[in-house]
Amino acid sequence: MRSFRRFAHTVTLVASLAVLPGCNQQSPPPAQQDTRATDEAAIGAASDEWAKAAAAKDLEKTLSYYADDASMFPPNAPIITGSDARRKTWTGLLAPAELVFSNAATKVEAARSGDLAYETGTFEESFKDATGNPVHVTGKYVVVWKKQAGGQWKAVVDIFNTDQ
């Protein structure tokens, strides 16, 4: 009888030990909140402000929309990386006399992860060339946005080219 009780206690102990790990399991983390609509609205607002800064030839404000490691891909030119190179490029872009610039986002889509997004759109600019002749340019662009550590969206890739 004693060996039967010992056997029964052993079986109970083993069964309890087998069940205990399941009691300690944590429930899976809650699904990440979908912030795409909020992110897309924030990027749209930033894009609008960026366009206003460029139209006003505000170089510092224009440059402030880029992340530190951002790259530009201008037409017929090498990739532009680094703040000094971006400054030089934008100085040239904003230099023409009587420059009138506008752009319009046609699509903004944020990733469900909440850390990346892209924007596509069109732009127009008019200016006078070096000889004083009027020039009108239309084109399109893609900007890849990345959420920064502080939660602000910054451009990490900026590619644009003309339609002709």
What 3-state class would DSSP assign to 34? coil
**Structural fold of domain 36-162:** Nuclear Transport Factor 2; Chain: A, (3.10.450)
DSSP assignment string, 35-74? -HHHHHHHHHHHHHHHHHHHHTT-HHHHHTTEEEEEEEE-
Strand 134-147, strand 66-73: pairing: unpaired
The yes-or-no verdict on residue 28 having pLDDT over 90 is: no
39 or 6, higher pLDDT: 39
Predicted TM-score of the model (pTM): 0.79
Chain mean position to CA 131: 39
Q: pLDDT for 34-67, tens place per residue?
A: 999 999 999 999 999 999 999 999 999 999 999 9
Cα 82 to Cα 72, 77, 113, 156, distances in angstroms:
9, 15, 27, 11
- Closest alpha carbon to 50 in 132, 159, 154: 154
The yes-or-no verdict on residue 153 having pLDDT over 80 is: yes
Host H or E run for residue 136: strand 134-147
pLDDT at 97: 82
